[in-house]
Amino acid sequence: MAPYLLGARRYPSKKAARDEFRRILNSNPDNVPLRGEDAELVSLLVHAGRHPEAAEKVGPGVVDVVIRRSEFGTRGFWLVRRDGSIVDFSYLTALDGQSSVEAEARAALRWEVNDQILAFRDVHAADLAGGTVTCGLCQQLMTPDNVHVDHHEPTFDELASRFAEVLGGWDRLVIEWVGATGRRLQNRDHGDVWQTYHRQTAQLRLTHRRCNLSRART
């Protein structure tokens, strides 16, 4: 079976990915916001999956994901949005859609700069442990176990789009596998230029994990 790719995650098959989300659906209670790794996985599916209406489903941003029953009695994922509205989200539709060249290239570009992201977080490790760092979005204090590194303006997607445009389009960014889950640019000159561009241009900040995941990604 061919592997199934979801963001930086690689499943041995689409069935394995489907089983993962079915487990989340069957092991959590109704009408209680998902937390921990289950919440992160569903958020990844929402933002990095292949649902053809993902942007419309996310709308103004997702605050929580809950499991609830439809009018026919079946259980499914529902997105609680920032404006208080709630909409169903089919994990099967999101898994079955077709991945694009752009989506694969964006995932590779993110992998290329992962060391920079981790280094930025590590620089602030002592302050986080001391409880003196506030979230760049909600301005509340953070702890080391609930931190994400976020791209302020310009966003990561904007940086990646500019880079692809300069090279002549997403088709120029051919990817290759690194180990079981990593993806990078096959052309290492392109990889080096991208890493330098990101290092010089990205404006990074620390945010709460939930605050960052709730932001709309289109």
Q: What values do phi and psi take at 12, rounded to 5?
A: -60, -20
End-of-domain residue from the set 96, 121, 140: 96
Which tokens sit at 120? 């930025």
**Dist. CA 44–CA 153, nearest whole Å:** 21
Last residue of one domain, picked from the residues 96, 131, 162: 96
Q: Are residues 80 and 132 in the same domain?
A: no
Number of structural domains the chain divides into: 2
Pair (205, 105) in one structural domain: yes
| CATH (domain of 90) | 3.10.450.40
> How big is the CA angle at 60 (ends 67 and 215), to the nearest 5 degrees?
80
CA–CA distance, 88 with 81 (Å, rounded to integer)? 11
Residues 175 and 138 in one domain: yes
Segment 122-178, tens digit of pLDDT:
999 999 999 899 998 899 999 888 888 989 989 888 999 999 999 999 999 998 877
Residue 82 lies in a domain: yes
* DSSP single-letter state for residue 86: E
How far apart are the C-alpha atoms of 37 and 213, rounded to whole Å?
12
Is 111 in the same domain as 92? no
pLDDT tens column, 13-34: 989 999 999 999 999 999 999 9
Q: What are phi and psi of 195, to 5 degrees?
A: -60, -40
In which domain, by residue range, is 48 found?
Answer: 4-96
Q: In terms of domains, do 105 and 92 share one?
A: no
pLDDT, tens only, 77-125: 999 988 888 999 999 999 988 666 787 788 889 889 989 999 999 999 9
Residue 218 resides in a domain:
no
